[in-house]
Amino acid sequence: MAPAVSDSRDHVPTRMLAQFTEALARAGSIAHLTRLLTDMSRTLLEVPAAGVLLYDRAGRPAVDGSPEDKRFAPLFALQAKSGPTLECYHAGQSVVLTRESAIKDGWPDLAAAMGSCGVNAIEAVPLRTYNSAARGETVGALTLFCEAQTTVARRRLQYVVQGLANFGLTAVTLRQDASLSTELAGKLRDRVRQNTAIEQAKGLLAGRLRINIAQATALLTAVARDQDLPLHQVAHDVLTGKTDLSD
């Protein structure tokens, strides 16, 4: 059994924190972020394993950042169904479960898995994003598998790690939202241009062929169907003179 983290370790490893902060800020995806979070937790908090579980808006597990050490994989897998991780997500606050309390609370499978891994306690801390809500939206939990008793010093450092994790999650989701907004804006601009071309082509044909708008629409639609082309492409060809429908 690993010794408890000493209370004498009261300083915060600023250089290591700075390195992790920079890495979190550059994380380009949720998958990359979860790997960084588990690495950061194991390194800074000196726990044998850590995992990240993120949920979608329907409350279903969406991202599974399993511990790299496969010994802990079965124990982590149980967290998606019951246990401190799921409780932490629903309550939005930290949950600590010891092996003894797992037995008392009716989680024999969880207690057995903890025993086989040499885990004395599981600590789950909520992960939040701060896109809009002042208090943040709980989107998952960071799960720490502890062999030793948590000390005051490690608890303080754990708060720092949790804050960095929330920072990283918020940064990644904001970038993704921005990318999505840019993509949607581009699609909307394209759709506006296409619809404008179609309406202009209808007007051009109606004036040139002395027909009404409904007849011009039917003509454009028929040509698009016969040539297996998008309607906006036929409209563009009519406007540029590439296609002459006056005959």
Q: How confident is the model at residue 205 (pLDDT cuts 50, 70, 90)?
A: confident
Counted residue by residue, the chain has a size of 247
The CA distance from 201 to 224, in Å, is: 13
Q: Say if pTM beats, i.e. exceeds, 0.75.
A: no
Percent of the chain with pLDDT over 70: 79
Q: 19-31, pLDDT tens digit by residue?
A: 777 777 777 777 7
Q: 38-94, pLDDT tens digit by residue?
A: 888 888 888 888 888 887 766 677 666 667 777 888 888 887 777 898 899 889 899
R_g of the chain computed on alpha carbons: 29
Which fold does the domain 14-173 belong to in CATH?
Beta-Lactamase (3.30.450)
Q: Is the pLDDT of residue 232 over 80?
A: yes
Strand partners, 67: none
| Residue found under tokens 């800074």 | 44
Tokens representing 231 are 């309607």
pLDDT value of residue 1: 39
Q: Which helix (H) or strand (E) is 41 found in, with range?
A: helix 30-45
The CA distance from 44 to 196, in Å, is: 58
Strand partners, 96: 123
Which fold does the domain 180-240 belong to in CATH?
Arc Repressor Mutant, subunit A (1.10.10)
Domain boundaries, the chain: 14-173, 180-240
Q: 162-182, pLDDT tens digit by residue?
A: 887 887 777 777 666 555 445
Look at 172 and 189; give whichever has higher pLDDT: 172
Q: 116-134, pLDDT tens digit by residue?
A: 888 999 999 988 887 654 4
